[in-house]
Amino acid sequence: MQLQRPDLLRDNNYINGQWQAAASGRRFPVENPANGEKLTEVADGGTADMDAAITAADAAQAAWQSETPKTRAQILQRWYQLIIEHRRDLAAILTAEQGKVLAEADAEIGYGASYVEWFSEEAKRIDGDILAAPSRDKRLLVIKQAIGVVAAITPWNFPNAMITRKAAPALAAGCCIVIKPAHETPLSALALAALADEAGFPAGVFNVVCGTQASDIGSVMTSSPLVRKLSFTGSTRVGKILMEQCAATVKKTSMELGGNAPFIVFDDADIDAAVAGALASKYRNAGQTCICSNRILVQDGIYDAFAARFAAEVQQFRLGDGRDSDATMGPLITRQACDKVTALVDDALSKGASAITGGRRASIGEHFFEPTVLRDATPAMRVFQEEIFGPVAPLFRFEDEQQAIALANDTNYGLAAYFYTQNLNRVWRVAEALEYGIIGINEGVTSSEMAPFGGMKESGIGREGSKYGIDDYVELKYLCLGGLDN
Ligand code: NAP
């Protein structure tokens, strides 16, 4: 890999300000999902390494918490500037280990950095409050204090931004953090650690432990009494396990879990805008995002026209290695991911759907699936109930608004939803009826550091980003000042 700063490619864990091999001495390979090429081998951290990271974070916690907000803000600001300065290298590392095309990797670095910038500013606005008192001899005050050491577990689909979305608010609030990235994508996490080190975070404030033994490492994080909060992004299945484990020490948790986003196109929609929004929300990262449209619900009167125009656009995608400048869509992360998408499509086809375009694995490599549009999908198919996590858009048909809302809400997930209409009354009715934490109205791209990201129902707990994002990393403390003589 050609990098301007080859030292951003790290292969050891970052614990207490030091680059450390795993206590066991073991290493694991990191591969390019486009072709299986081994990029490097990384220290395979385990329970002892995570234990050391938590101990270091705990030792650094009191001093970091008592730094002035301005000092924390300045270090975060430096980290932000370093990330932007080295975004080409960070994007190259990200594409190599994750597979998304370089333009998308570059956009992720910018998106990830935006949280660091935002929370560098928010660090100075963690304000308390003075409340009305019930009697004249009392004053009631509320202060916000860092919750303590934070543990973060992150997925492979956004290996940079899912880290900054947690680390930036935690560090701004005065929390030290230990991070376990997904084993498929440790290099982006270690590159961020290299730049955090350069930015000047004191030893122990920021730690990264990579490893293949996720449940063992996770158990250390969830059971340690030194860890006061767990922030997790990943599947609902693993999120539930971690919540159960956190119950033993009553840890605060943030859970950014799976989604099953409906994308509703009403008859009165601007069809060009709806096609553009569906393309952007469905196929980004080859369909591997938690807010990807999973079920495209199209009203009867516009169904055929939408299907034809949408499929024509989908045919324009060019599959390839993310580093190839001609490619507009990369591979899926693993062969198993490709197997799962294949099984979902086969299930839909066997139950009466038809593929207008795509519908099978691509011939260019075993992790590639053709960008696919399925017509005549129905709720009896697995694609209605399960997160597809691949470049497959099933089109469902509905008759009226009530049916659209009922179909959209017919899932245990509640992360993102999208709908397209030109009717203002319908905008409010549908927005209020959808049981989702994020709603795109005539818009397919909603994410921003300035907005709260998070889900309802089994999609999670808590919000990342925006003025609300810091709340997950502070405790509200109530001070009752009594005995006053006036
Ligand atoms: P995953 O299997 O749940 O893995 C996520 C992370 O959890 C990885 O670091 C993984 O480590 C770790 N992990 C797995 N089992 C664990 C255990 N028993 N204890 C502790 N840690 C454990 O999810 P994924 O397939 O990588 O990611 C895709 C999922 O993430 C999708 O469901 C997607 O919707 C969701 N997601 C949600 C958001 C959001 O903000 N709501 C954003 C992005 C993704 P290993 O890699 O080592 O297994």
Reported as a single tens digit per residue, the pLDDT across 175-209 is 999 999 999 999 999 999 999 999 999 999 999 99
Please report where in the chains the tokens 């990029």 appear, as a residue. 39
The tokens of 305 are what? 């026209």
Q: Convert the pLDDT of each residue in 427-457 to its tens digit.
A: 999 999 999 999 999 999 999 999 999 999 9
Ligand 1 mutation target, pool 42, 153, 253, 254, most atoms within 8 A of CB: 153
Give yes or no for a contact between 286 and 331, defined as CB atoms under 8 angstroms apart: yes
pLDDT range class, residue 389, cuts 50, 70, 90: very high
In this prediction, residue 422 carries a pLDDT of: 98
C-beta separation of 478 from 139 below 8 A: no
Query: What is the model's pLDDT at position 384?
Result: 98
Active-site residue among 290, 370, 458, 464?
290
183 lines ligand 1 (CB under 6 A): yes
Contacts for 291 with CB less than 8 Å, ≥ 6 apart: 259, 261, 281, 415, 416, 438, 446, 447
CATH 3.20.80.10 fits 261-448, yes or no: no
Does any ligand 1 atom lie closer than 6 A to the CB of residue 193?
A: no
CATH number for 6-257+460-478: choose from 3.40.630.10, 3.40.605.10, 3.40.50.920, 3.90.1300.10: 3.40.605.10
CB 301 within 8 A of CB 268: no
Rounded to the nearest whole angstrom, what is the distance from the C-alpha of residue 234 to the centroid of ligand 1? 3
pLDDT in tens, 88-138: 999 999 999 999 999 999 999 999 999 999 999 999 999 999 999 999 999
Measure 151 CA to ligand 1 centroid, in angstroms.
Answer: 14
Q: Is the CB of 149 under 6 A from ligand 1?
A: no
At residue 36, does pLDDT exceed 90? yes
Q: Is 370 an annotated catalytic residue?
A: no
Is 366 an active-site residue? no
Give the C-alpha separation, 449 to 468, whole Å.
Answer: 11
Predicted pLDDT of residue 230: 98
Is the distance from CB of 228 to CB of 148 less than 8 angstroms? yes
Atom of ligand 1 nearest to the CA of 234: 30
What does the pLDDT look like over 142-176, one tens digit per residue?
Answer: 999 999 999 999 999 999 999 999 999 999 999 99
Q: Where are the domains of the chain?
A: 6-257+460-478, 261-448
State the pLDDT at residue 361.
Answer: 97
Nearest CA to ligand 1 atom 42: 290
Query: Counting atoms of ligand 1 from 1, which one is nearest the CA of 221?
Result: 20
Considering only CA atoms, give the Rg of the chain.
23
Atom 20 of ligand 1, residue of closest alpha carbon: 218
Residue 486: pLDDT band by 50, 70, 90 thresholds?
confident
pLDDT of 330 reads 98
Give the mean pLDDT of the chain.
98
Check residue 180 and give its pLDDT: 98
* Confidence bin at 1 (pLDDT 50/70/90): confident
CA of 473 to the centre of ligand 1 (A): 21
Q: In what order do the strands lie in the sheet with 206-208?
A: 18-20, 13-15, 206-208, 177-180, 149-153, 227-233, 252-256, 460-461
Distance 218 CA to ligand 1 centre (A): 11
Q: Which residues contact 21 (CB under 8 A, 6 or more apart)?
A: 12, 13, 27, 43
In this structure, which residue's CA is closest to atom 12 in ligand 1? 214
**219 pLDDT exceeds 80?**
yes
Average pLDDT over residues 476-484: 98
Residues whose CB falls within 8 Å of the CB of residue 363, separated by 6 or more in sequence, listed in order: none
